[in-house]
């Protein structure tokens, strides 16, 4: 980016100013390089489904005389990729809005009702698994209901995706001091200790091949983190490979004004 300003000689004030300017330049450099990486990641993520679709289109063109039975699988593959692109664009749009400082609603949200709603919405995806709510008490926070629902849906959908048949996924809500907690616990495959610190980063996937096949672009947990922090709360994860994972999103019950 920019050259460092050479250290000034003679005056303390000037030396201090130089140090401050250099520190600002360093911070800018970090910012720019994370932006560059973001653009590179987005391009990569767009190219993969587009390449798959191009392959299928070529196949269809060459076999346009083929029987419908041959055409079906290609069309189905393209439909899957299009769905992935649509999902990714809406996730990217949401994250872009987050960065530009979009205003959250501040309305009373009954977290226990939210949990029941998400369990109902995801029940069709929970085949062979137990998906259950665990509501210790009624908990109300001030916040943005749609965004909180999206965060809970993202965590719960991940849990279902990474839990083999016979396992269970529990969505709990509870109060802990001044905080409300939404907890998603699964008895699934778990996350390796090396991957754990990165799961909330954009485009991070612990198991690329499997997560990609499942349709994710690695944006779901970045959105969860943004939603939690925009509510003056936070999110954390504990996990044991082979035993399962627990994601906890906590929110202040009486938050400062939302940004
Ligand atoms: P994705 O779109 O891949 O689901 P996320 O940001 O939601 O992206 O998750 C990032 C990665 O974290 C996933 O690809 C997966 O490797 C890992 N992960 C998230 N939730 C779980 C879970 N409950 N169990 C195991 N791994 C998980």
Query: What residue's CA is closest to ligand 1, atom 17?
Result: 206
Per-residue confidence at 90, pLDDT binned at 50, 70, 90? confident
160: closest CA among 122, 195, 120, 201?
A: 122
Residue 42 has which token pair?
């987005």
Atom of ligand 1 nearest to the CA of 217: 2
Q: What is the pLDDT of residue 250?
A: 97
Q: How far is the centre of ligand 1, averaged over its atoms, from the C-alpha of 188 (Å)?
A: 12
- The radius of gyration of the chain's CA atoms, rounded to the nearest angstrom, is 23
Atom of ligand 1 nearest to the CA of 186: 23
Separation between Cα atoms, residue 95 and residue 89, nearest integer Å: 10
Report DSSP letters for 199-235, one per residue: TTSTT--SSHHHHHHTT--S-HHHHHHHHHHHTT-EE
Q: How far is the centre of ligand 1, averaged over its atoms, from the C-alpha of 218 (Å)?
A: 7
Q: Indicate if the pLDDT at residue 7 is higher than 90.
A: no
Handedness of CA 76, 150, 47, 192 (dihedral sign): negative
Residue 196 has which token pair?
């754990």
Ligand 1 in contact with 244 (CB < 6 A)? no
Residue 59 has which token pair?
């196949």
Residue 215 has which token pair?
């349709």
Separation between Cα atoms, residue 241 and residue 232, nearest integer Å: 30
Ligand 1 in contact with 204 (CB < 6 A)? yes
Lowest mean pLDDT among 15-19, 66-70, 225-229: 66-70
Report DSSP letters for 53-100, one per residue: HHHHHHHHHHTTTS-HHHHHHHHHHHHHHHHHHHHHHHHHHHHHHHHT
Per-residue confidence at 256, pLDDT binned at 50, 70, 90? low
Query: What residue's CA is closest to ligand 1, atom 19?
Result: 158
pLDDT tens readout for residues 136-171? 899 999 999 999 999 999 999 999 999 999 999 999
Residue 118 near residue 183 (C-beta atoms within 8 A)? no
Separation between Cα atoms, residue 158 and residue 246, nearest integer Å: 11
The chain-wide mean pLDDT, for the chain, equals: 87
Per-residue confidence at 121, pLDDT binned at 50, 70, 90? very high
Separation between Cα atoms, residue 166 and residue 187, nearest integer Å: 9
Q: What is the pLDDT of residue 43?
A: 85
What is the DSSP-derived secondary structure letter of residue 177? T
Q: How far is the centre of ligand 1, averaged over its atoms, from the C-alpha of 88 (Å)?
A: 15
Average pLDDT over residues 21-27: 92
Q: What is the pLDDT of residue 211?
A: 54
Separation between Cα atoms, residue 101 and residue 19, nearest integer Å: 30
Residue 23 has which token pair?
């520190």
pLDDT tens readout for residues 173-194? 999 888 999 999 999 999 999 9
Residue 220 near residue 212 (C-beta atoms within 8 A)? no
Chain center to CA of 4? 36
């Amino acid at each position: 980016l920019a050259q460092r300003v050479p250290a000034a000689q003679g005056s303390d004030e000037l030396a201090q100013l130089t140090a401050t300017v250099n520190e600002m330049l360093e911070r800018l450099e970090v910012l720019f390089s994370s932006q560059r990486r973001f653009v590179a990641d987005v391009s990569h993520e767009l190219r993969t489904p587009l390449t798959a679709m191009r392959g299928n289109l070529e196949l269809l063109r060459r076999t346009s005389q083929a029987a419908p039975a041959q055409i079906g699988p290609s069309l189905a593959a393209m439909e899957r990729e299009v769905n992935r692109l649509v999902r990714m664009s809406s996730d990217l749009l949401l994250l872009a809005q987050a960065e530009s400082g979009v205003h959250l609603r501040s309305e009373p949200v009954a977290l226990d009702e939210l949990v029941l709603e998400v369990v109902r919405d995801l029940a069709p995806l929970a085949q062979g698994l137990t998906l259950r709510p665990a509501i210790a008490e009624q908990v109300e926070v001030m916040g943005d209901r749609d965004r909180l629902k999206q965060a809970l849906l993202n965590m719960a959908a991940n849990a279902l995706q990474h839990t083999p048949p016979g396992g269970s996924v529990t969505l709990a809500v509870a109060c802990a001091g001044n905080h409300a907690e939404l907890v998603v616990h699964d008895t699934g495959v778990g996350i390796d200790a090396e991957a754990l610190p990165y799961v909330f980063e954009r485009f991070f996937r612990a198991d690329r091949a499997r997560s990609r096949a499942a349709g994710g672009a690695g944006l779901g947990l970045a959105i969860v983190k943004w939603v939690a922090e925009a509510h003056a709360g936070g999110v954390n994860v504990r996990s044991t490979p082979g035993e399962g994972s627990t994601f906890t999103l906590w929110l202040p019950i009486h938050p400062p004004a939302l940004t």
